[in-house]
Amino acid sequence: MELSDRLLRALAAGQAAGGDKRGKQSTALLLASPTPRWYHNLQVDDHADPVAELQRIYDVVVEQVERLEQEYGPEGMRLFGRIK
């Protein structure tokens, strides 16, 4: 299991255990890695259930990245990352 998956589970567990006493509105996932992935930097702002929304976005991005990697391979993905 990737670190990003474990961190998302930890966020969900924290929320299930009562979360932040100030309420819930936003959350983020940011990882530093020698092999960065597009889903290592995700953020949800101003959402009624930010942890669930972050998980949903993460799942969508991971699925898209896997599909693109199958189609274009690692070199193609590096080129996609350079497009501005």
Domain ranges (residues) in the chain: 3-82
Q: Answer for the pair 29, 2: CB distance below 8 angstroms, yes or no.
A: no
Q: Could you give the CA distance from residue 34 to residue 63 in angstroms, rounded to a whole number?
A: 21
In the chain, which residues have pLDDT < 70? 81-84
Token digits of residue 20? 């932040």
Q: Could you give the CA distance from residue 57 to residue 44 in angstroms, rounded to a whole number?
A: 9
Quick: pLDDT tens for 57-66: 999 999 988 8
pTM of the model: 0.83
